[in-house]
Chains A and B, each alone.
Chain A
Amino acid sequence: MSCGRMENRILSYVDGRLKESERLEVEKHLASCPACELRVNEFRAVSGLLDELAVIAPSPAFDVRVRALVAAEPVKQSWWAQFALSPRVAMAGALLALCVLWVGLRPSVNPATEAEINQNMPVLENYDVLSNFEPLTDLPAPVAADEQPQQDDANQTNQQM
């Protein structure tokens, strides 16, 4: 192994994270390379010095502030959640569906109803014809004011009699 290849392995070796075969390869190189051996020792020393750094404790208010930030977050519903019904609405919907089903499946109480409808069909047909009858649209609309003088004439006639 060359000194250049040690660059990528030296820390893993110091950390003890190398595979057995790689570790043996590194140790073989170190046995014949005082410069790399010195560097390994110095990296170990650096690692030991970094261990000396003290830790800080989060301030007592830290958790409180995080909780406050989280509590201030708007309640976010998923896309599907908007279709989710509350129990009351679901119950009302179910009752409504049952009613519709009951009405739909109920046996016909008045057998004459259908005959009546058939009987009225020509009337309905005539109504359609009349409402769409083109010559009727040309007629002037009946005016209530026209009827007033006729009524007055009739009243005068009655008084004369």
Chain B
Amino acid sequence: MARSDVQLMLDVKAGDEQSFELLLHRYRSPLVNFLYRMVRNREQAEDLAQEVFLRVYRARAEYVPSAKFTTWLFRIATNLALNSVRDTRHQRMEISLDAPLTADSEEGDERPLDAADQHPNIEQHLVAQARSKMIRHAIEKLPEKQRAAVLLHKYQELDYNEIAKILECSESALKSLLFRAYEALRVELAPLVAQQAKQ
């Protein structure tokens, strides 16, 4: 039977390095994807994810399982991501103003696993790519905290209570935050939403 995250972390605290490897294996992909969607830069996302794991390892001696492990993990990740986004906001604005309109430096990073099966011809593939790009940009346009809330809610499937703890707000405030984020996405993705709603 697989050990729980908390048990693994307690084993790390007791000096079991192998348990840290299991946690790394379990959470590297969700963390890298969450951070990538937050900062929109693969290299930076991986650096931040490494920093998250390093902080988890450093904090092992003081670890007390007072909350869910994922709450703690994503709280570290969210704080790092929010700081990084704020630090690089000015830099990113300069880059986007200078960049050509068609350029998308991160285009090649996302690789749907079964793209070939889903889109048998080039035209469909291009349409799907354009849709993905539109969705990514809509998420990117959200204010940082709303973006974090949507990503934690949609992709990590965390409870409202857990997300509220990560973002250090009340559950009611979180629901309001998510509502505003979905409203913004609904407006931004209106053409796609209309298509989707018809299906």
Count the B residues whose beta carbon is within 8 Å of the partner chain — how many?
A: 49
Closest CB of chain B to A79's CB: distance in Å?
A: 10
Contact B54 A69, beta carbon cutoff 8 Å: yes
Count the A residues whose beta carbon is within 8 Å of the partner chain — how many?
A: 36
Contact A70 B197, beta carbon cutoff 8 Å: no
User: Taking the complex as formed, is B73 at the interface, i.e. its CB lies under 8 A from any CB of chain A?
Assistant: no
Contact A57 B197, beta carbon cutoff 8 Å: no
Closest CB of chain A to B6's CB: distance in Å?
A: 20
> What does DSSP make chain A's interface, helix, strand, loop or mixed?
helix
Segment of A19-27, A48-56, A82-90, A126-134 engaged in the interface with chain B: A48-56
User: Taking the complex as formed, is A156 at the interface, i.e. its CB lies under 8 A from any CB of chain B?
Assistant: no
Contact A57 B160, beta carbon cutoff 8 Å: no
Chain B positions 43 through 66: 1 when the CB is less than 8 Å from some CB of chain A, otherwise 0: 000100110011001100100000
A47-B154, A52-B132 given; A12·B160 CB < 8 A: yes
Which residues, 119 to 166 on B, are CB-close (under 8 Å) to A? Answer: 128, 131-132, 135-136, 139, 150, 153-155, 160
Contact A54 B182, beta carbon cutoff 8 Å: no
Contact B29 A55, beta carbon cutoff 8 Å: yes
Contacts of B154 in A (CB 8 A): 47, 50-51
Segment of B77-85, B91-99, B184-192 engaged in the interface with chain A: B184-192
Please name the residue on chain A nearest to B157 by beta carbon: A15
User: Taking the complex as formed, is A142 at the interface, i.e. its CB lies under 8 A from any CB of chain B?
Assistant: no
A49-B192, A56-B42, A57-B111 given; A42·B186 CB < 8 A: yes
Contacts of B182 in A (CB 8 A): 11, 43, 46
Q: What residues of chain A have their CB less than 8 Å away from a CB belonging to chain B?
A: 7-12, 17, 39, 41-59, 62-63, 65-66, 69-70, 73, 76, 78
- 16 pairs of residues in contact across A and B, judged by CB atoms under 8 Å: A7-B175, A11-B153, A43-B182, A44-B197, A45-B186, A45-B196, A46-B189, A49-B189, A54-B113, A55-B110, A56-B109, A58-B46, A59-B46, A62-B50, A65-B46, A78-B61
